[in-house]
Chain A
Amino acid sequence: MDLNLLKEAVVEMQEEKALSLTEEYLAGGAEPLSLFKAYQAALAEIGKRYEQEIYFIPELIMAGEMMNTASNLIKPLLADNAGMTENKRGKVLIATVEGDIHDIGKNIATMMMDLNGFEVKDIGVDVPGDRIIAEAEAFGADIIGLSGLLSLVFDPMKKLVEALKAQGLRNKYKVIIGGGQMDDKACAYIGADAFTTDAIAGVNICKAWLD
């Protein structure tokens, strides 16, 4: 068994090879969690290649699918998912805010957060602010991720942050806004803690908050 071989297969987008190695190693009695960690290491490398513009979004999605396939093989072999849930970095609630239905960025961010060890709850598009807050409270989120592509989303986002303040909840959550039009001005206007225009960069910001 050579976990580097597995990692390399995932990094190089060799879907069938990665799957057959995973099956072979599991059948050979490999520690399931060690395989999972090889996948996570591969994913970190894929994220780097994305940042360097060697890989693009299709590779992120393909990596996500390879990871899901592997998780489905590995998870049943772990008692209570031990080692997988206790390694969770923190909880992120994510939504596209009221007035906008764009979901590509949100979906990629959700997938990348999940793959990077966050427990993520995605509550969909066009979600009113009071529902986002209620869901964050119920979920026990550490971070609220607000997505939106249109400039129309700035006001609902601002209102949400103000509602958090009014309810005395503002310090309980980190708020990150994501979307193609986000910048420091939008971030200041809305009163968020950070902005991102890119899913991987957003994940890195959230990691820095919780690690």
Chain B
Amino acid sequence: MIVIGEKINGTRKEVGHAIRARDEKKIQALARIQVDAGCDFLDVNVGMPPDREPGDMVWLVKTIQAVCETPLCLDSANPEALRAGLTHINAPAMINSVSGEQSRIDGILPLACEFKTGLILLPLDETGIPKTSDGRMVIAEKLVSLAKAGGLSEDQLYIDPLATAISTGTDAAMVTFDTIEKIRKAFPGAHITIGLSNISFGMPLRSLINQSFLSMAILSGLDSAIMNPNDRQLKGAMLAAEMLVNKDKYCQKFSRAYRSGKIGSEAAGTK
């Protein structure tokens, strides 16, 4: 699984405050704690207000790169902020995200091609999120062919099957699983990633729902997630699911995470 750590997000109050206050220590601590948990990318979202985004993005990129080499996933809908961040990036980066909305296609896709970054694709457009997996595939196919035409390889594409709230439609998760299976079949070389927490919106015991959802999505073919890498329970569910679908040789990822105390109960020696 390719884990994209979600914590450096300016729309979270304390992070937004740290960005505006230029609190390097706070941001660097958030980067380190996620890197130590073994995440593959760090999502970087500067939050609001829009007119500050480019400057804040550059500061965040520099601040994070000063303490770790983990690739960054620049998360913004604002092309100026993305360009500003990308010009200061060291390691191969990712952009979160382009969708089927024309303004995003025009503003964001060319940046991914120019800077040769990874790119998260959202199969939604001006009319919203298609209710069926077929509707989502139409947009995904269009975005994949535009990205390929711009010079990106399938391996650089991270397609998000999208999750809508199970509280507002009980077929929501099945549509996601169905979409994952169709993406896997149509684009075997592409990655499939997802923001997990939408699924449990409006429900109690959200983390339990998120864990079950992640496990089932992994069975469908999910190979990446935008998540909190320090959530031990979620991480445990993820590693167990990967092992159970035969993607963990000799169960070593799971066992190693157990031995180093990264999953399971925090009390030592618990089996």
The smallest C-beta distance from B22 to any residue of chain A, in angstroms, reads 18
User: Given the known A-B contacts A53-B204, A101-B101, A125-B128, are A155 and B50 also in contact in the complex, defined by CB atoms under 8 Å?
Assistant: yes
* A residues near B204, Cβ cutoff 8 Å: 53, 56
**Contacts known (A56-B202, A101-B124); A61 close to B167, Cβ less than 8 A:** yes
Q: Are A152 and B50 in contact (CB under 8 A)?
A: yes
- Knowing A99-B77, A152-B50, say if A57 contacts B168 (CB, 8 Å): yes
Q: Which of A98-148 contact B (CB under 8 A)?
A: 99, 101, 103-104, 107-108, 125-126
Q: Out of A107, A151, A189, which one reaches B168, CB within 8 Å?
A: A107
- Contact A101 B49, beta carbon cutoff 8 Å: no
Q: What's the nearest-Cβ distance from chain A to residue B26, in Å?
A: 19
Query: Shortest CB–CB separation between residue B46 and chain A, in angstroms?
Result: 9
A154-B48 contact given A56-B167, A57-B168, A104-B164, CB 8 Å threshold: yes
- For B48, give its contact among A57, A125, A151 (CB under 8 Å): A151
For A57, give the chain B residue with the smallest CB separation: B202
Question: In the complex, which residue of chain A has the Cβ closest to the Cβ of B48?
Answer: A151
Task: Please measure, in the bound complex, the distance between the C-alpha atom of A99 and the C-alpha atom of B78, giving whole angstroms.
Answer: 11
Given contacts A99-B77, A154-B50, contact A181 B168 (CB under 8 A): no
> Of B125, B127, B167, which is within 8 A of A58 by CB?
B167
Q: State the majority secondary structure of interface residues on B.
A: loop
Residue from B11, B50, B127, B202 in contact with A125 in the complex, judged by beta carbons closer than 8 Å: B127
- B165 contacts A104, CB within 8 Å? yes
Is A150 among interface residues, defined by CB-CB distance under 8 A?
yes
Which chain A positions have C-beta within 8 A of B48?
Answer: 151, 154, 181, 186
Q: Tell me the nearest residue of chain B to A50, going by C-beta.
A: B202
Compute how far the CA of A189 lies from the CA of B164 in the bound complex, rounded to whole angstroms.
29
A186 CB, nearest partner CB in chain B, Å: 7
B212 interfacial contact with A, CB 8 Å: no
Give chain B residues whose Cβ lies under 8 Å from the Cβ of A186: 48
Chain B hits for A151, CB < 8 A: 11, 47-50
Q: Is B126 an interface residue (CB 8 A)?
A: yes
Instruction: Say which residue of B47, B49, B125, B203 sits within 8 Å of A56 (CB atoms).
Output: B203
25 A–B contacts, CB within 8 A, in A order: A53-B204, A56-B167, A56-B202, A56-B203, A56-B204, A57-B168, A57-B202, A57-B203, A58-B168, A58-B203, A101-B124, A101-B125, A101-B126, A104-B164, A104-B201, A104-B202, A107-B168, A125-B127, A125-B128, A151-B49, A152-B77, A152-B78, A154-B50, A186-B48, A189-B49
Partner-B contacts on A (CB < 8 A):
53, 56-58, 61, 99, 101, 103-104, 107-108, 125-126, 150-152, 154-155, 181, 183, 186, 189
Further contacts, 12 of them, CB under 8 A, given A53-B204, A108-B168, A154-B48: A56-B167, A56-B204, A58-B168, A58-B203, A99-B77, A101-B125, A103-B128, A107-B168, A125-B127, A125-B128, A151-B47, A151-B48
